[in-house]
Structure formats: C-alpha cells, structure tokens
Amino acid sequence: MRRVTLLWALGLLLALLSLLAQLSQADGGGPSMTERVIWAVNAGGETHTDVHGVHFRKDPLEGKVGKASDYGMRLPILRSTPEDQVLYQTERYSEDTFGYEVPIRDEGDYILVLKFAEVYFAQSQQKVFDIRLNGHMVVKDLDIFDRVGHSTAHDEFVPFSIRRGKLSVRDEVSTFNGKLTVEFVKGYYDNPKICALYVMKGTLEDVPKLQPHPGLEKREEEEEEEEDERETEEEVGKRGPSAVPKDRVRSGPRTPNPYAADNSSLMFPILVAFGVFIPTLFCLCRL
C-alpha cells in the first residue's frame, strides 16, 4: 500500500513539474534578444556585449569611411546603464553622407535601432542631418540636442518589413536585393554621425527601451499640452469669435465672488440690536 502511495505521489510530482515547465515556456518561450538581433555595430568603437546579450561588432568602416571619435568617453551618458554607456560614448562621423550595409536573407518584420548621444554641441541647430533606408527617408532633420539635450542617450526606431522581394518602410515600397543600406545624410548643420546600431527581428514591443528621464518626460508633457492648446485654439478660430469661452484668459488667480462670502459676521450685531430693541419696546408700552 505504501509503495502504491509513493508511486502515486511521484507521478503527481512529475506532472506538476511538467506543467510548470510548460508554463515557463509559455511565458518566456519567445526568442531572446541574442536570437532576434541579426546584425549590430558599435560605431567608432570596439566589440561590446550589452546587458541584453546583444553582441556589437567592431566598426567595419574603421580606416575606410569617415572618422571615429571617443570624445564622449569623458562624459557620463544619461538614460543608459553604466555597462552600456560605451555604446553612446564612441561614434563615427563624416564630412559627407555615409552608411552601412546590412545583409538580410529571411523575410519578416524587422526593427532598425539607431543609437545617438550629443557629447560635443551644447545647443540645438548645431548638428542636424537625415537618415535614409534604401533610399527612403526615415528620419528627417534629426537634431539630437534638441531631442534630449547634452550627453543623453537617444534611440531612433525604424520598423520595416521584407516580403516577396519587397522592402516596406514608412508606407513606401521598393525592390529589395538582399542588402539593407542605412545612410546618414549630410545636411547644412555640421556632419552626420552614429554611435551604434543594430537590426533585429520583431516589432517595437520587442525593443528594449532606455531608462526614463524625468526632465525629458516633463518637457514632452509640456509639448503635448501646448499642442493640445494650439489645436483647441484652431478649432475655436474655425467656429468664430462667438464660440470663444469667457474664461479662456488665465493670466492670474480668479477674482473672488463678493456674493459668495460668509455674511454671518455682519448679521450678528444686527441680531443683537434687534434683541435689545424688542424688550425695550415692550417695557415702554407697559409704561
């Protein structure tokens, strides 16, 4: 009897272990970042494996195109983990348009992740450039400092798909010949650059995000509020002056309503006087 009970308990334990294994596979059964990323480069720097297991190879353009810079090594990079700051501290720039070629064999959905940090200029409109993907404009007038400020990590995400020999990106379609060409286009303000980049299979939800930046989030909220106010003003303007709300101007604290004040302090002496007057009148009448 004990042997049957022991076997039954052992069978139940094995069943529970099997169920736990299945649940584990269901929760994290998708491919890891190491499996998703098909190509990664640390521009202007050496090989590096980040905290997600992505292996960035040494810059293949070393000694061929543009110039490498490690000027950012003297600065801490906000929004990046300490282990991966090196990806934003080195960069490759060029006095002309330059780029990388990424071989892609399989069809599917992909994300191009571009990593930047402005470590030299301290104001906007100093370095502005475009980014093209196989001739398609995917990022226009990128001003890193204007986006996030100085020595702060900034990632650009470009989703694209490859199916039946066609590249689809930003609602545009072109013939795909097996190579993805990422170009950083020379503009009017200084030189284009890149700190690191990689291509991975998946969607935007699969891409690891940078750490939050309180100041940046506050600025984005203010910009959203300003945009909402502009849209409201445009809608009011279309409806005409009669539709403008009377309390639209908010240049200071609201004027208090004089009729909303508590009048009990004023009524008290009146009631006292009235209370004294009635007995006095009664006494005078009896006389």
pLDDT, position 14: 45
Distance from C-alpha of 186 to C-alpha of 36, rounded to nearest angstrom = 31
Q: What is the pLDDT of residues 164-213, one digit of tens each?
A: 999 999 999 999 999 999 999 999 999 999 999 999 999 999 999 998 87
- Angle 242-244-248 from CA coordinates, rounded to 5°: 155
With beta carbons less than 8 A apart as the criterion, state whether 40 and 196 touch: yes
CATH topology of domain 33-206: Jelly Rolls (2.60.120)
The sign of the torsion formed by the CA atoms of 238, 243, 248, 249 equals: positive
Q: What is the pLDDT of residues 36-70, one digit of tens each?
A: 999 999 999 999 999 999 999 999 999 999 999 99
What residues pair up with 158 in beta bridges, in sequence order? 112
Whole-Å CA distances, 135 to 114, 199, 276: 17, 17, 96
Tokens of 172: 């545009």
**Residue ranges of domains in the chain:** 33-206
Whole-Å CA distances, 42 to 39, 50, 218, 249: 11, 11, 31, 52
pLDDT, position 8: 46
Q: What is the pLDDT of residues 230-286, one digit of tens each?
A: 666 666 565 555 444 444 333 333 333 333 344 444 454 455 455 655 555 555 555
**HSE (CB half, 13 Å, CA atoms) of 138?**
25
